[in-house]
């Protein structure tokens, strides 16, 4: 039995489905078949009746039956024909029913197969619809993504175009700026080249001037050495003559001649320093006194004071510190020359006090002292004076004459060694100074010497080969004692003024300078350069030389020097 089908939405609206249409067609075919069967049954009944009638007539003709018999036979035949017709109709009906059933079964089978095919087709259609829907959804999503990408690309493109336009504008602006910078750079380069050319010309002129000054210093040094040697010889001859006269008087039984006492130093230490700095102090004090006699301290006065201090070789840095101090305390007020001198003394003292440092020996033995500086700076004389001080203290001193180029230097050092009671090691003229230093260190170690003092050849700071020789001496020293030289002392001549700054710059790295000694302060008005040196290089100051006598090398005292140089000491005494 065929499954009962659910009515769909279209069936409820009166529309027939394909299955319903097939059922109607099967019913119509069954009805048509039934009509055919009925007609066939009637026709067969007629045929049977006709056959019976024909047989009856034949029987009647052969048998000669009466009319009643014939009627009875006809009635019987009719009955039999009807029975046979009924049987034929029943059989036809049965055949029709079987045919209808077969047709129904065929229709049902066809319906089932059509339904299955339709179901499969519907499922396929649903799958295809789902696939189409999926593809459409994908296409929609792809279209959406593409639209978003197109929008983003359009945005990026717009931004890129805007960025490119801005970059182009920036590039053009930078190009213009670069052109301006290049033009400015060319101008600055041209200015720098011009200034460099001027600097080189000035440096060349300065080098020539330094060379000339050094040659002049050499000449003066040679003259001074000759004069010193002559003076020493004369004094020794005088002593010998005095001794001979004393011996003669003693032999003759005459009383000894009492020597006349030397004049006492009425001024003391401050007096000696003030006298030694007289030239430097007088010029600056006179100028300050002339400029600041009850004068109001305004910008013009400060500028004039700066000029005075710079011209006194104190340097621009020191001059600025002095004027800044006065500006802070006294600006737009009446000032006197003494107030200016006191401010100057304060600044000089502030700069120099931290650098006031005597030579202090460590535990190493021997203590190696290296003396460096240009020709004529007073190295040899200074070394001799210091050697005399140490031997007077009972120290064992050895002197190495490292200036092997000038015979007069060796002779001068030998005289100083004799006076100080210290042996002097020297080599032949123009021999290797580094080799001599090596031998001197070994001798000092073997003889248990307390202090080894090494003199070096005077050299110009712009002579590379001579500075390299000094470096070689230091390397030789350090091979035997890595901590030496324990004191590397730069001796400077105050008379060279600002050139002392150039010399310090050259020697401080080459010789690892540990301290300064400035000589000849009594012979120049440029004593202020010591303050400029201290302010710029911050090197310890051990001694100052204010005369040619053996006792004229003073320990450096910052407050005394500041008072003497500024003129405060003279003002307080007057």
Nearest CA to 422 out of 456, 468, 453 is that of 453
Query: Where in the chain are all domains bearing CATH 3.40.50.300?
Result: 357-556
Q: Give the pLDDT of the chain (574 residues) as one tens digit per residue.
A: 444 444 555 555 555 666 677 777 777 877 777 777 777 767 776 777 677 667 666 665 556 666 777 777 778 777 877 787 777 777 777 777 787 788 778 777 877 887 787 778 778 877 887 888 888 888 888 888 888 888 888 888 888 788 878 888 888 888 888 788 888 878 877 877 887 777 677 657 655 654 554 455 455 445 545 555 555 565 566 567 667 766 776 776 655 544 433 333 334 566 677 776 777 777 787 787 777 776 788 888 888 888 888 888 888 888 898 888 888 887 778 888 888 888 888 988 999 999 999 999 988 999 999 999 988 888 888 999 999 999 999 999 999 988 877 767 788 888 889 988 999 998 877 778 899 999 999 999 999 999 999 998 876 655 676 778 888 999 999 999 999 999 999 999 988 888 889 889 888 888 899 999 999 888 777 888 899 999 999 999 999 988 777 777 888 988 888 888 888 877 766 5
Cβ neighbours around 224 below 10 Å, total = 17
Q: Which of helix, strand or coil describes residue 401? A: strand
**Helix/strand/coil for 255:** coil
Helix (H, G, I), strand (E, B) or coil at 455: strand
CB 427 within 8 A of CB 350: no
What's the pLDDT at 439?
A: 94
Residue showing tokens 């042996």 = 423
Check residue 59 and give its pLDDT: 62
Contact 444, 452 (CB under 8 A): yes
Strands (E), 212-327: 295-296
Query: In the numeric block, which tokens belong to residue 154?
Result: 């359009």
C-alpha span between 352 and 12 (Å, rounded)? 123
Parallel/antiparallel/unpaired status of strands 334-335 and 295-296:
antiparallel
pLDDT at 208: 65
Alpha carbons 270 and 101: distance in angstroms, whole number: 158
Residue 469, SS3 per DSSP: helix
* Predicted local confidence at residue 453, as pLDDT: 97
Structure token digits, residue 76: 């019987």
For the domain made up of 357-556, give the CATH fold: Rossmann fold (3.40.50)
Sheet holding 367-372, edge to edge: 424-425, 397-402, 451-456, 367-372, 487-493, 515-519, 541-545, 553-555
Detail the DSSP E strand segments found in 465-564: 487-493, 515-519, 541-545, 553-555
CATH number of 269-352: 1.20.120.140
Token pair, residue 459, equals 């050299």
User: Residue 284 class from Cβ within 10 Å (0-12 exposed, 13-18 middle, 19+ buried)?
Assistant: buried
> Cβ of 121: how many Cβ atoms within 10 Å?
12
Q: Does residue 567 contact residue 284 with C-beta atoms inside 8 Å?
A: yes
Two tokens at 151? 């929008």
394 Rama sector, left if φ>0, alpha if ψ -120 to 50, beta otherwise? left
Structure tokens at 247: 């011996």
C-alpha to C-alpha distance for 230 and 223, rounded to whole angstroms: 10
DSSP code, position 356: B
Give dist(CA 417, CA 20) in Å, integer. Answer: 149
| Exposure b/e, 402-427, CB count within 10 A at least 16 = b | bbbbbeebbbbbbbbbebbebbbbbb
Q: Return left, alpha or beta for 376; rule: phi > 0 is left, psi -120 to 50 is alpha, else beta.
A: left
Instruction: Please give the pLDDT value at position 82.
Output: 74
User: What is the dihedral angle through the alpha carbons of 361, 363, 366, 370, rounded to the nearest 10 degrees?
Assistant: -40
Q: Are 521 and 493 in contact (CB under 8 A)?
A: no
Q: pTM of this prediction?
A: 0.54
Q: Which of 563, 571, 502, 487 is nearest to 532 (CA)?
A: 502
Q: Where in the chain is the domain with CATH 1.20.120.140?
A: 269-352
Q: What CA–CA distance (Å, rounded) separates 60 from 74?
A: 11
Question: Which stretches within 336-406 are classed as H helix?
Answer: 337-352, 379-392
Which of 470, 463, 464, 460 is closest to 404 using CA atoms?
470
3-state SS assignment for residue 253: coil
What is d(CA 572, CA 574) in angstroms, rounded to the nearest whole number? Answer: 6
């Amino acid at each position: 039995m065929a499954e009962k089908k659910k009515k769909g939405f279209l069936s409820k609206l009166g529309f027939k489905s394909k299955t319903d249409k097939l059922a109607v067609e099967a019913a119509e075919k069954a009805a048509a078949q039934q009509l055919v069967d009925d007609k066939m049954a009637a026709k067969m009944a007629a045929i049977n009746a006709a056959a019976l009638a024909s047989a009856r007539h034949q029987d009647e003709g052969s048998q000669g039956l009466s009319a009643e018999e014939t009627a009875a036979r006809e009635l019987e035949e009719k009955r039999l024909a009807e029975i046979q017709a009924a049987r034929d109709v029943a059989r036809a009906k049965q055949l029709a029913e079987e045919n209808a059933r077969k047709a129904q079964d065929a229709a049902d089978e066809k319906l089932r197969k059509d339904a299955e095919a339709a179901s499969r087709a519907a499922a396929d259609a649903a799958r295809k619809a789902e696939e189409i829907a999926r593809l459409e959804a994908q296409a929609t999503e792809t279209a959406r993504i593409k639209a978003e990408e197109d929008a983003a690309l359009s945005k990026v493109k717009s931004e890129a175009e805007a960025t490119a336009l801005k970059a182009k504008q920036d590039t053009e602006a930078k190009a213009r700026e670069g052109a301006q910078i290049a033009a400015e750079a060319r101008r600055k380069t041209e200015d720098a080249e011009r200034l460099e050319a001027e600097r080189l010309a000035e440096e060349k002129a300065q080098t020539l001037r330094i060379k000339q000054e050094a040659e002049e210093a050499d000449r003066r040094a040679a003259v001074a050495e000759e004069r010193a040697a002559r003076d020493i010889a004369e004094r020794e001859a005088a002593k010998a003559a005095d001794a001979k006269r004393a011996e003669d008087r003693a032999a003759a039984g005459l009383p000894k001649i009492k020597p006349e006492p030397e004049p006492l130093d009425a001024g003391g230490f401050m007096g000696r320093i003030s006298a030694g700095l007289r030239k430097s102090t007088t010029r600056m004090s006179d100028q300050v006194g002339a400029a600041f006699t009850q004068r109001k301290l305004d910008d013009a006065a400060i500028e004039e004071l700066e000029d005075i201090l710079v011209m006194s070789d104190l340097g621009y840095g020191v001059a600025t510190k002095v004027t800044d101090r006065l500006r802070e305390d006294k600006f737009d007020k009446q000032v006197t020359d003494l107030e200016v001198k006191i401010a100057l003394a304060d600044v000089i003292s502030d700069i120099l006090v931290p650098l006031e440092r005597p030579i202090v020996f460590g535990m190493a033995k021997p203590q190696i002292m290296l003396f460096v500086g240009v020709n004529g700076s007073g190295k040899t004389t200074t070394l001799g004076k210091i050697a005399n001080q140490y031997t007077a203290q009972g120290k064992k001193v050895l002197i190495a004459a490292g200036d092997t180029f000038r015979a007069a230097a060796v002779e001068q050092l030998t005289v100083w060694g004799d006076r100080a009671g210290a042996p002097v090691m020297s080599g032949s003229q123009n021999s290797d100074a580094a080799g001599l230093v090596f031998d001197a260190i070994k001798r000092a170690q073997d003889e248990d010497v307390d202090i080894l003092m090494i003199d070096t050849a005077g050299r110009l700071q712009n002579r590379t080969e001579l500075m390299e020789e000094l470096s070689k001496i230091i390397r030789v020293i350090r091979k035997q004692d890595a901590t030496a030289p324990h004191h590397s002392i730069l001796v400077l001549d105050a008379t060279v003024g600002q050139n002392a700054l150039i010399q310090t710059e050259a020697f401080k790295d080459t010789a690892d300078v540990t301290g300064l000694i400035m000589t000849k302060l009594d012979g120049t008005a440029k004593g202020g350069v010591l303050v400029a040196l201290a302010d710029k290089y911050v090197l310890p100051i051990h001694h100052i030389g204010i005369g040619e006598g053996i006792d004229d090398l003073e320990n450096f005292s910052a407050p005394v020097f500041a008072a003497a140089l500024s003129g405060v000491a003279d003002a307080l005494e007057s």
